[in-house]
Amino acid sequence: MSSLAGQWNYFLVIALMMIGFYAVIARGNMVKKMVGLTIFQTSVFMLYISMGKVSNGTAPILTGDPQTLYANPLPHVLILTAIVVGVATTAVGYALIIRVYESYGTIEDDELIKMIEAEDAEDSEDMNGETQSA
């Protein structure tokens, strides 16, 4: 039981991970998908950051005292990189959503799929009509 209580951070991470992943898969709205994706990524940040915790450790700043116990700074540095990657992904994702909305007028998956299927069907019907000059 004590091990379960001692690992509460992992349960939190798994709960967040599943909430985020569920939103990515189950939601048809592109913005909600992006929100889910961000939650999913954040849960991984928490997984890494909590693994760097050392009991009674302080912030990893050199004090000159060899007795000082430090937290592990490496996972934090890794996640700093991953956060930047996450921000970039979010930016590209929302930029794409804006462009999709501008050209399709909707960001709902089911409506988009219908419109794309209609365009695919058009393509295979009249091919020679839409051709441009070289």
Partner 1 sequence: MMQHLPVLQVLLPLLGAPLAALLRGRDMAWGLALLLTGAAFLISAILFGLQYSAGEALIYDLGGWPAPLGIVYVIDAASALVLPVVSGLAFVATIAARRLVEAEIDARDHALFYAAWLLTIAGMLGQITTGDAFNIFVFLEISSLSAYALVAMGAGRDRRALPAAFNYLILGTVGATFYVIGLGLLYMLTGTLNLTDLAERLAEVESTRASFTALAFIALGLFLKMALFPLHFWLVPAYAHAPSAVSALMAATATKVSVYVLIRLMFGVFGVEFNGLADAIGLLILTLGIAGAFAGTLAAIIETDLKKLFAQSSIAQLGYMAIGIGAMSMTGLAAAFIHLFNHALMKGALFLAIGAIAAQVGRASMQTIEGAGRQIPITMTAILVGGLALIGVPLTAGFISKVYLVRALLEQNFWLLAALTFISSALALAYVWKIIEAAWLKERPKGAPVLVETPVHYVPAWLMVLATIGFGIFAGPLVDAAYAAAAVFIGGAR
Q: Report which DSSP code applies to 34.
A: H
**H or E element at residue 75:** helix 74-104
CA separation for the pair 74, 114 (Å, rounded): 47
- Nearest distance in Å: CB 88, partner 1: 6
- Nearest distance in Å: CB 15, partner 1: 14
- Nearest distance in Å: CB 17, partner 1: 8
Matching residue, tokens 């959503």? 97
Q: What is the CA radius of gyration of the chain?
A: 23
Return the half-sphere exposure (C-beta side, CA atoms, 13 A cut-off) of residue 118: 7
Residues lying near partner 1 in the complex (CB under 8 A): 17, 21, 24, 30, 33, 37, 40-41, 44, 47-48, 51, 75, 78, 81-82, 85, 88-89, 92-93, 96-97, 99-100, 103-104, 112, 116, 119, 123-124, 127-128, 130-134
- Nearest distance in Å: CB 61, partner 1: 19
